[in-house]
Structure 1
């Protein structure tokens, strides 16, 4: 079920009404309702995927008790069992065909031509997200940051909570489970903030991202025939398409959770206002970046065992992060590009210059230095996005090549203007909101006008239901 669908617009009020009016007196039955609603939401695509989700949830729930053992040898055994189980699910459904094809091509170079059996099965939606939920739960128990949950319903809600199930944010058990196990009461202000976030998220998805998607598809499909300026516009358009699409989903997820009394982790903090690549990754897909930091980078030694190992660990997490997005060389190269951009900052000890600052906190406009830093960072990120968006490495290289050689093709200024019409308003809105972490609270006198305009725009652009980009991951 898509957030930007008529079905969801019917589903959400129904669950909300039952949750607060029929089951509000019992925490247990509220959680049961949330679990049923989450599985219905997920099973809307396929009941087979729902079975896989249930099996994965049950196994990690059971592993948690073994990992909590005072016998460290036994605890490590169940920890690795969970890791093998979760990565095994990913390997079979998401990565098997990729490795099988690479193996076949490698042997072909040696003159061998084995027959490789490929799996003809769709990748379960959200598989990378809920497997990471399960692993973080088990890891935290092993590190004594979390005690095993004895109520299976509570744990199952943590893994399958429908606002975040298919595209995050990747929640931590220590953050979400206490909210699931605690009695919740309706809070008008929290619900109002949730509605504002949902509306803003729908605007970014339906009005901005889906409109830019049409332009991006046209340019990337026929990149050979496009002028270099149009190709540049196409790359910029995709940068804002994926931002509007993914951050729009996150806003809807956070807003929906607020309607039910939950606070999810922040996943975006205006990433295109970053002044270097390190800051970008503290602002973009924060839950994934912090997951890899806490469960991969730090266990590998982080940056405390010398520069050489720090460089190694940096490349590992960026390459793995790229591969997490999909079984394709283009994602690995995308991760490698970001690793190369991060590396100079690491070597010069400048990767923590802007840990939590708001750009131009005390002024309405950025300084010349800040503006140049943001533009350079955005240019680097946009270049990397070309590899992320292209169908394969051949198309990505061809797109980049044509971007610096296709100056004899006719210019399509109308197309470039169309990109600006969607990008500039989004930049302006984000700049206005950058200090208050997306509260979306506007002056009382213009509040109704702003919300009505946003709602009308969403209604006007509401047409074909398109998947969120991160559903495929």
Structure 2
């Protein structure tokens, strides 16, 4: 580890948020100087305080001060509860259900077989997707109940056909913050191609360190940065590839990069990657130790079925915000929402915090 410190929950998020307040006021981007009470509300609005989205004062404080937002809006409350229930179901029913596969692979002391390594990697890719997507939905849902609209932070990133598109859809407000307060001040793309590539790499290295003070996070950020540089250079030469091939390459890289994001150290990450490439162990299947590690309140076959269901949802269904925009008060919507809430409540005995609470 680069550093081993005990830090407050969500410090990286509210640090960036307060930085945006200070910098924006210093540069006088806002039309008026906000008072101390507005500042306090801006930095303590609880739905997005711990894990985002990272908001700016000009998009939040005017909403706090709008008198219309201080009255009860039953339509917003209904839509907010609906979005919250979708997010809760993503977290409890999907993300937490595949976590045994993830923990078994990353905690296994011996080498992993080909199937074990790929099952571990894909499971974490799906777990992180629904964990973070679920939190974003819940945060937006709770905020909407208070008549506050939070910026979209998650837009089906696994459907991306290149790494640049992925970062336009994953943790969108983090990308916006780093663009406005790091990439542009460094010169952005206005000082020649080489400096543009340098600036992009710096942004992704900072993004890695922002997620955690470990070499694995720095490597994760560096890999994404290098991938962005390659993609940009590829585009500059006018080269293209079929979208399906671009999607396959993008998902393969993202899947590999997430291993460094999850692993406690580089050695564990390399162990899993080695297993993913060890096709000679395909016939070994899944070891007894791995099977014993994934025993939980759910049958392993059910967990595997949920993993497959999660993959189908990720790639075939639209983002949940589209469902909310089409929400109505008909019986089928009520039944759907009840299913999400009741199903989640039944499995709330599995205590698991949101993964992004660690950052």
TM-score by length of 1: 0.67
Matching residue within 41, 59, 69 for 1:175: 59
**Which is worse superposed, 274-283 or 416-425?**
416-425
After superposition, the C-alpha distances for 1:84-117 in whole angstroms (9 at most, x for unaligned) are xxxxxxxxxxxxx835xxxxxxxxxxxxxxxxxx
Is the 1:237–1:419 contact (alpha carbons within 8 Å) kept by the matching residues of 2?
Answer: no
Gap change, CA 1:411 and 1:427, over 3 Å in 2: closer
Describe the shift of the 1:421–1:135 C-alpha distance in structure 2 as closer, same or farther (beyond 3 A).
same
- In the aligned structure 2, how far is the partner of 1:229 from the partner of 1:388? 20
Mapped to 2, the partners of 1:370 and 1:471 lie a distance apart of 34
The residue that corresponds to 1:240 in the other structure is: 126
**Do the aligned residues in 1 keep the contact of 2:112 with 2:272 (CA within 8 Å)?**
no
Tell me, in whole angstroms, the C-alpha distance in 2 between the residues paired with 1:445 and 1:180. 33
CA contact (8 A) 1:268 1:285 kept: yes
Q: Secondary structure at the match of 2:317?
A: helix
Is 1:412 equivalent to 2:289 in the alignment?
Answer: no
| 1:245–1:468 CA contact under 8 A, matched in 2 | yes
Aligned residue pairs: how many?
343
Is 1:386 aligned with 2:279? Answer: no
Q: What is aligned with 2:2? A: 98
Partners of 1:336 and 1:300 lie apart in 2 by 18
1:159 and 2:43 matched: yes
TM-superposed deviation, 1:223: 6.2
2:97 alignment partner, SS class:
helix
**In structure 1, what is the Cα distance between the partners aligned to 2:254 and 2:40?**
37
1:142 is aligned to: 26
Q: Does residue 1:224 correspond to 2:115, yes or no?
A: no
Residue among 81, 86, 93 paired with 1:207: 93
> Which piece of structure 1 moves more, 446-455 or 326-335?
446-455
5 Å matches for 1:176-325? 176-183=60-67, 184=69, 185-222=71-108, 224-325=110-211
2:246 paired with 1:373: yes
Q: What CA distance in whole angstroms lies between the structure 1 residues aligned with 2:121 and 2:160? A: 18
In structure 2, what is the Cα distance between the partners aligned to 1:166 and 1:220?
A: 26
1:16 counterpart residue number: none
Q: CA deviation at 1:267?
A: 0.5
Shift in alpha-carbon separation, 1:290–1:324, aligned structure 2, 3 A: same
Aligned to 1:449: 335
Q: Tell me the TM-score normalized by structure 2.
A: 0.87
| Structure-2 change in CA distance of 1:400 and 1:301 (3 Å) | same
Distance across 1 between alignment mates of 2:236 and 2:327: 36
Q: 1:151, CA displacement in angstroms?
A: 2.6
Q: What is the deviation of 1:148?
A: 5.8
Deviation, 1:468, is 0.8
| Separation (CA, whole Å) in 1 of partners of 2:302 and 2:184 | 44
Shift of 1:142: 3.0
What is the distance in 2 between the residues matched to 1:207 and 1:178?
36
Structure 1: which 5+ residue stretches go unaligned? 1-96, 100-118, 354-367
CA radius of gyration, larger in: 1
Deviation at 1:405, TM superposition (A): 2.3
Change (3 A) 1:304 1:418: farther
The SS at the match of 2:285 is coil
Preserved contact between residue 226 and residue 410 of structure 1 (Cα < 8 Å):
no
CA distance in 2, matches of 1:211, 1:350: 43
Q: SS of 1:232's equivalent?
A: helix
Higher relative contact order (CA 8 A, sep 6+): 2
Which SS does the other structure have where 2:349 is aligned?
coil
Measured in 1, the distance between the counterparts of 2:130 and 2:91 equals 6
Distance 2:95 2:114 in 1: 22
Distance in 2, matches of 1:195 and 1:346, equals 41
Query: 1:340 and 1:419, CA in 2 relative to 1: closer, same or farther beyond 3 A?
Result: farther
Cα deviation 1:204-257 (Å, max 9, x = unaligned): 111111111122001111163432122111101101111111111111110000
Of residues 262, 275, 278 in structure 2, which corresponds to 1:402?
275
**8 Å Cα contact 1:123-1:472 kept in structure 2:** no
Compute the displacement of 1:375 (Å).
2.6
